[in-house]
């Protein structure tokens, strides 16, 4: 533009500052979480914290290995339940049903994402936990209950992204396969899924991020015992639960230990974000 009035220039500068605020906010969040958690990690030693199995804040023992294991197990469990279910749903809606059905069911499934996590947790406690306790044994509040609830909670993420990814596979791919005499099943397994692979990986990673970061529902259904579980029917505690349960009354070293837990969780999430963003970029290219 040849001439820009001072007012226009000022507006542009203001908008620019606003746009940079996202970067600033991310930086400030990282700064405050690390500022509270890192000194504690350096003082106690990363090995002591990540490798320690005893969490007794009142006695100065701050091992979070059971929580790391708990988080990984319940996230893995959620994927075992959520990925096959979600992916099947997406494949059915895109490849085996009509666009009309898809137009109704896709938003309906996305509504699942709007149900608050506390409601999932509550229904888990009321309906699922007694079912597990009576039929499978154990306390009911368990790794299994957490996995099932989280598996349901990540369905909308996985289904909605997978549908978009499958729809983005060019029609000509399918037509080529059908023209060679393949059935829809063969076309899906040999052509469509191969073309959509990296997008589906993104969907799974984002679902994983949701599962590992979920707090309230997990606190309610997993029992929160600080010990590595012996079976899926045992109680577990995740990194998020550890913060959620104890932050309200923690102080001093104990509070810093919770921020250290936050640092570990934050790093895990950022690695997942980076991975998701890398697979997404690869897909666009």
Partner 1 sequence: MKRLDPGVTQKIVRGILLSFTALTVSILVFIITYVLLKGLPVLGWEFLTKGAVDAGTSGGIFPFIVSTVFITVVALAIATPLGVGTAIYLTEYTRETIVTKVVRFAAECLAGIPSIILGLFGFITFVLFLKLGWSILSGALTLAIMILPTIIRTSEEAIISVPQNQRDVSTSLGGTRWQTVTRVVLPSALPGIVTGIMLSVGRCIGETAAVIFTAGSALPTPTSVFASGRTLAVHFYILATETDAFGMAYGTAAVLIIAILTINVMAYWMMHRIMRKFS
Q: Which of residues 112-131 bind partner 1 (CB under 8 A)?
A: 112, 114-123, 125-127
Partners of 55 in beta bridges: 62
Among the residue ranges 9-17, 40-48, 58-66, 165-173, the one whose residues contact partner 1 (CB under 8 A): 9-17
Interface with partner 1, residue 110, by CB under 8 A: yes
Site for partner 1 in 12-31 (CB under 8 A): 12, 14-16, 18-23, 25-26, 28-29
Interface with partner 1, residue 259, by CB under 8 A: yes
Nearer to partner 1, 231 or 274 (CB): 274
User: Nearest distance from residue 284's CB to partner 1, in Å?
Assistant: 12
CA 38 to chain centre: 24
Nearer to partner 1, 77 or 209 (CB): 209
In the chain, DSSP assigns E strands to 55-56, 61-62
Site for partner 1 in 46-75 (CB under 8 A): none
Among the residue ranges 42-50, 62-70, 171-179, 240-248, the one whose residues contact partner 1 (CB under 8 A): 240-248
User: Nearest distance from residue 230's CB to partner 1, in Å?
Assistant: 26
Partners of 61 in beta bridges: 56
Q: Which residue in the block uniquely carries the two structure tokens 């533009």? A: 1
Interface with partner 1, residue 92, by CB under 8 A: yes
Nearer to partner 1, 123 or 137 (CB): 123
User: Nearest distance from residue 265's CB to partner 1, in Å?
Assistant: 6
- Centre a 10 Å sphere on the Cβ of residue 189 and count the other Cβ atoms it contains: 13
Interface with partner 1, residue 42, by CB under 8 A: no
Phi-psi region of 234 (alpha: psi -120 to 50; beta: other; left: phi over 0): beta
Nearer to partner 1, 43 or 137 (CB): 43
Interface with partner 1, residue 36, by CB under 8 A: yes
Name which of 115, 111, 90, 75 is nearest 214 in CA terms: 75
Size of the site for partner 1 (CB under 8 A): 85
Name which of 257, 211, 173, 225 is nearest 82 in CA terms: 211
> How many angstroms separate the CA atoms of 126 and 108, rounded?
24
Judge residue 217's burial from the number of C-beta atoms within 10 Å of its C-beta, 0-12 exposed, 13-18 middle, 19 or more buried. buried
């Amino acid at each position: 533009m040849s001439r820009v009035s001072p007012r226009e220039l000022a507006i542009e500068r203001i908008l620019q500052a606003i746009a940079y605020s996202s970067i600033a906010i991310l930086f400030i969040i990282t700064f405050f979480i690390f500022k509270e958690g890192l000194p504690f990690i350096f003082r106690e030693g990363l090995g002591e914290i990540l490798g320690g199995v005893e969490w007794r804040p009142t006695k100065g023992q701050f091992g979070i290995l059971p929580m790391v294991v708990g988080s990984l197990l319940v996230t893995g469990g959620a994927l075992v339940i959520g990925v096959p279910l979600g992916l099947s749903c997406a494949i059915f809606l895109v490849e085996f049903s009509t666009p009309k059905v898809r137009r109704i069911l896709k938003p309906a499934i996305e509504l699942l994402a709007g149900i608050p996590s506390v409601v999932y947790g509550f229904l888990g406690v009321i309906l699922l936990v007694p079912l597990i306790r009576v039929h499978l044994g154990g306390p009911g509040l368990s790794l299994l209950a957490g996995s099932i609830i989280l598996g349901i909670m990540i369905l909308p993420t996985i289904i909605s992204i997978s549908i978009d990814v499958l729809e983005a596979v060019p029609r000509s791919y399918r037509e080529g396969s059908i023209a060679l005499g393949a059935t829809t099943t063969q076309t899906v397994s040999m052509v469509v899924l191969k073309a959509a692979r990296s997008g589906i990986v993104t969907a799974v990673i984002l679902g994983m991020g949701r599962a590992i970061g979920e707090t309230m529902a997990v606190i309610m259904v997993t029992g929160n015992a600080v010990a590595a579980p012996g079976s899926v029917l045992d109680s577990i505690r995740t990194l998020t639960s550890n913060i959620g349960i104890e932050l309200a009354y923690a102080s001093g070293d104990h509070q810093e230990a919770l921020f250290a837990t936050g640092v570990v969780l934050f790093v895990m999430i950022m690695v997942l974000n980076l991975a998701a963003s890398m697979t997404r970029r690869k897909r666009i290219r």
